[in-house]
Amino acid sequence: MIFTSRMTQLFAVVLQKDAERVTESLLGEGVMQFISTSEIGEPAQHAAPVCAGVQASLTEISDLRKRIEGLLHTAGVIPSPPSQMDLTRRAAVDLEKEKGLLARLDTERTTIRERQRELQQEILKLEDIRRQMVLYGAGLSDITASAPQSFIAMQTGKIAASSASRFEEGLREFPSVSIPVGRERDSVHYLLISMKRDAERVQRVLDGAGWVSIELPAELKSVKEDAFQELSAKLQTLADEQKKLETQADDLVKREVPHLREVWSHLRVSELLHRIQTHFTPVSRTMVFTGWLPAEKQARLTEAIRRASGGRCHLEWHEASGRDPLGDEVPVRLDNPRVLAPFQMLVSNFGVPRYGTIDPTPLVMPLYLAMFGLMFADVGQGLVLMSLGVLGLVLPRIRAAGRGWHQLSWLIVWCGLSSVFFGLLFGSFFGMAILKPLWFDFHGIVAGHRSEGSVVNSVFDILAITIYFGITVIGIGLLFNWVNIIRTGKWAELVFDKGGVLGAWMYAGGIYVAFYLVSHDYGQFPSRGRLLLLVGLPAILLLLKEPYHRWRREGEPSASRTNPVLAALNAMMHWVVELLEIFSGYLSNTLSFMRVAGLGIAHVCLMVSFFTLAEMTSGIASILLLVLGNILVIALEGLSAGIQALRLSYYEFFTKFFHGTGKLYTPISLDSEG
Amino acid sequence: MAGPLAKYSLVNAKLRARISKILPDRVFVQLARAPSLEAALAQLRETPFARLDEIYSATGDLRQAELELLRDEIDLYRGLKGHLHRESVELVDALLCQFEIDNLKNAIRVFFDRVVRGRPAEASAHYILYEPILHDIPMDIVVNAQGFDEIAGVCEGTPYSLIIRKYSHTAESEGSLFRLEIALDHFYYANLLSAIERLDRRDRAIAERLAGVRIDLQNVDWIIRLRSFYDLPMETVLAAIVPGGFNLSKAAISELYSAQNVTPILREFVKTRYPGLSALLSSQVSDSVSRLLLIRRIMEEIMRQEVQRILAGYPFTVGIIVAYFVLKKNELDRVRIVLNAHQQGLQPERIEGLI
């Protein structure tokens, strides 16, 4: 847990006839991150290129799977990763048949969309007219006199009943409303509303249909008022038809969802199997493959491969160490208990630790929570945070949003818990110091009251606590750095690195000098001898860094011969700069932790302010003020504390030892993404 | 006089929250790789563009969906004005002017197609915004007009009337709206630069720089279009160029348009101001259009860097408003490009190249 998981590399040779079964078992186990055999050296003498056929099949299967996935997404279905059962009962998919199905669905849906677009154009035309009617009036009092500024033209006339359909068809391309208002023998009377801008073209249609303009008989004039209603009714009919088409398009896919899900599952399994096989190299009648897996999975995978191949296999194992020259190439697995998952997320966000180095996750949890709690110590507000976190865990919308949100919700729960714990230590409940503090009275100190019998009596004591905390965190970071360096066997780095022995020596010396100075009221430094021993000596020894590296490089062919004077000046410059970096860096890193105290004090002060404001009012206003104040503090201070704790973890802690050069372990398994 | 904090603290917080929601590049790559338009729209369901999918599912009409998107965006800017100081309101109005001008251009095109070219333009008329954006221009009248005079008449009281009157005869005689549209675009940038002039010194410097880079990108866009589709003579091209570019002067543009090797022209300012882009300069391209596309790419990178500079700098300046406008427009354009490309059946690789 404290280090990255031990990884081991497998070289395997199996018979080609067993390749299929071995592939299945590799996928079933899902623990192997494959390496292309070309990456590990010259191809074997009789090696054939990676099967082009396999690659081509993979591409075809992958494309089809993505198309089906896209289709399922349109139906609001997100397929789940295949299971072991899907692997064992998988069936071959007739790719051409499924492509045919997709093509049919696409064609049907395209037809529906085309019809929808046509309908939409109809709707827009009628809405055009309706807008004109609303804007300028339809001259409803007199059918022939629409408002002069209106763009609609209204006219009445009659056509032969036999020409009616041609008439209506001809008008389809224009925004128009034609309302049959009555029949007279074999003629149909119409009220026609169209746009003035289309007058010429409409007239051609009317002429073609044999339109005769007439005055409507008195008894039919009443329909003019119905024109608007008729228009609205037509629009409604079209809208209903649109809705039906929309449902039809949705149902088209939904009907096929069960079948598509099944096919997707088979394709996904097939795709993963093919993906594994792209890492196989055929050699004569065998298949060679290699990859990394966690050492603890070795026995199980060995058993699985032997079973699948009937014992006809040759397996070689090579465990990687941190000193491995391929250290950066070994994939890294962070193996932490589930409870640490939110904190592993914080670590992964920063980077992936190099293989063989320390995984700081187990320590990030207490450190992060301690910093958060110190900045946001309140039982009541902590409980609110916990509730919010729990809400995030149970609300379906947030659960469906992905693992990231799930982990964030857990993080909020933990932060809430820390807040409750520190709230108990400091005796704070929704900003009120009503609980008996188990450690010291934070509120009282901020308000200026001295607490008798307590070690912590003033704001400066609180600041001191955070300084001690910071020194501890930095010290742990340095320790981790040494462990990492020792595991990689870089002894020179252990001595000369900024986070190495000399750097730490100077830091420790600096701390001693600072505390000595403070304890002597800033009037006295330690003795010269002590100063020399604690700070001077490591600084002088650091001067050896450049000459040492130069000496190491002397034997190398690429080493250039430089002027010794210039080399000495160069070394001096490096030394001065490095000393400045060490002193200023460690000083700023340590003082940075004072923000923990600062934010904690600010938290208390904000609540005190709200209480003061509340005292100026009474009744419901007072309560409302306190509630709003708590909400504001939880939102602002909570966010601030979370961010600052993260900043301190990343910048003050991680930078001491963390090299995010690792590659994450991504085995091919049934859960694989992409 | 209000200080920067008073002027920009609220709008800064608001816009930064909105900027964080702008779709990242990987989402556009996924959209481009979607197997169909429907699948791409389905991917947008969990984004602020979910309405596109709703409207397309309901109507089958992508343009309708885009129009709704545009409405939402305009409403956002109008809503933003309520939180701004007076000077910044003028700037936002100047930025909003682009939407109004684009809308007016679309309406004039409908009129022009119908009356001058004698072509039906029903379909396009439905995709005009009829509600006012900045000025109360009755777009119904523009769309249904019988002549340019009518359009200029309803635009009285707006800056567009004079421009329309000035170029209407040219449009009718040439049978093309090219010069009128260029003039409207010139007005937009002139108006924008004028609004920037009225800002205080610090805001002015920031806004001028970003507007200048935007003008450079616009100019390069134009010369690509003019070269690829029209192959116009140099004088016409230079007349179309908007003055006020930050990196590319008129002389530089003239050289870019005609030069075989554009590297020396670009090297000067790329090396000093944007050293990280020097690698792009070494790309080898042969034909003139590819050269211009390379220049466009460099300009887009410059725009990106300028926006990043603003976002990483002092937060309480007008830069946040201009940066948001640029980023949001870029996002909307990319969404439109991807969805329209899918509708036209382009291959994913080609679509990726377009964005």
Q: Provide φ and ψ at A315, rounded to 5°.
A: -120, 130
Q: Which residues of B touch A103 (CB under 8 A)?
A: none
- Check B60 against A250: CB less than 8 A apart: no
- Check A243 against B140: CB less than 8 A apart: no
Decide if pLDDT at B128 tops 50: yes
Q: Provide φ and ψ at A457, rounded to 5°.
A: -120, -15
Q: How far A248 CA lies from chain B's nearest CA (Å)?
A: 10
Q: Exposure pattern of A14-50 as b/e (b: 16+ CB <10 Å)?
A: beeebbeebbbbbbebbbbbbbebeeeeeeeeeeeeb
Distance CA A372, CA A340 (A): 16
Distance CA A598, CA B92 (A): 39
Q: Provide φ and ψ at A156, rounded to 5°.
A: -120, 150
Residues contacting residue B230 through CB under 8 Å, at least 6 positions apart: none
> Across residues B123-129, what is the average pLDDT?
83
CA B79, distance to chain mean position in Å, is 20
| Rounded (5°) CA angle A86-A91-A95 | 120
Decide if pLDDT at A143 tops 90: no
User: B31, B33, B55, B122: which to substitute to probe chain A, counting the most A Cβ within 10 Å?
Assistant: B122
- Check A173 against B123: CB less than 8 A apart: no
Distance CA A98, CA A259 (A): 10
This model's pTM is above 0.90 = no
Report the percent of chain A where pLDDT is more than 70.
90
The residue behind tokens 């699985």 is A304
> Across residues B50-73, what is the average pLDDT?
89
Q: Which residues of B touch A109 (CB under 8 A)?
A: 38
**pLDDT at residue number A37:** 64
Which of A115, A135, A173 lies closest to B122 in CB terms?
A: A173
Rg of chain B, C-alpha, whole Å: 21
pLDDT tens digits, residue range A259-306? 999 999 999 999 999 999 999 988 888 999 999 999 999 999 999 999
pLDDT tens digits, residue range A154-181? 888 888 988 888 888 888 878 888 888 7
Q: Provide φ and ψ at A499, rounded to 5°.
A: -100, 15
Q: Are strands A286-294 and A7-15 parallel, antiparallel or unpaired?
A: antiparallel
pLDDT tens digits, residue range B293-331? 777 788 888 888 889 888 998 889 999 988 998 898 889
Chain B's closest residue to A175, CA to CA, is B122
Q: Are strands A212-213 and A152-160 parallel, antiparallel or unpaired?
A: antiparallel
Interface residue A135 vs chain B (CB under 8 A): yes
- Check B59 against A249: CB less than 8 A apart: no
Q: Which residues of A touch B36 (CB under 8 A)?
A: 67, 70-71, 106
Q: Is A121 left (phi over 0), alpha (psi -120 to 50) or beta?
A: alpha
> Across residues B77-95, what is the average pLDDT?
86
Helix (H) or strand (E) holding B183: helix B178-197
- Check A116 against B61: CB less than 8 A apart: yes
Helix (H) or strand (E) holding A553: helix A545-553
Please report which confidence band the pLDDT of residue A325 belongs to, taking 50, 70 and 90 as the band edges: low
**pLDDT at residue number A382:** 95
- Check B120 against A71: CB less than 8 A apart: no
Interface residue A204 vs chain B (CB under 8 A): no
- Check A117 against B58: CB less than 8 A apart: no
Please report which confidence band the pLDDT of residue B218 belongs to, taking 50, 70 and 90 as the band edges: confident
Long-range contacts (CB closer than 8 Å, 24 or more residues apart) made by A122-125: A122/A172, A122/A238, A123/A235, A123/A238, A123/A239, A123/A242, A124/A175, A124/B64, A124/B126, A125/A174, A125/A175, A125/A176, A125/B122, A125/B126
Q: How far A112 CA lies from chain B's nearest CA (Å)?
A: 8
- The answer to whether the Cα torsion of A140, A144, A147, A153 is positive or negative is positive
> Across residues A309-322, what is the average pLDDT?
87
- Tell me what ipTM this predicted complex has: 0.80
CA B82, distance to chain mean position in Å, is 24
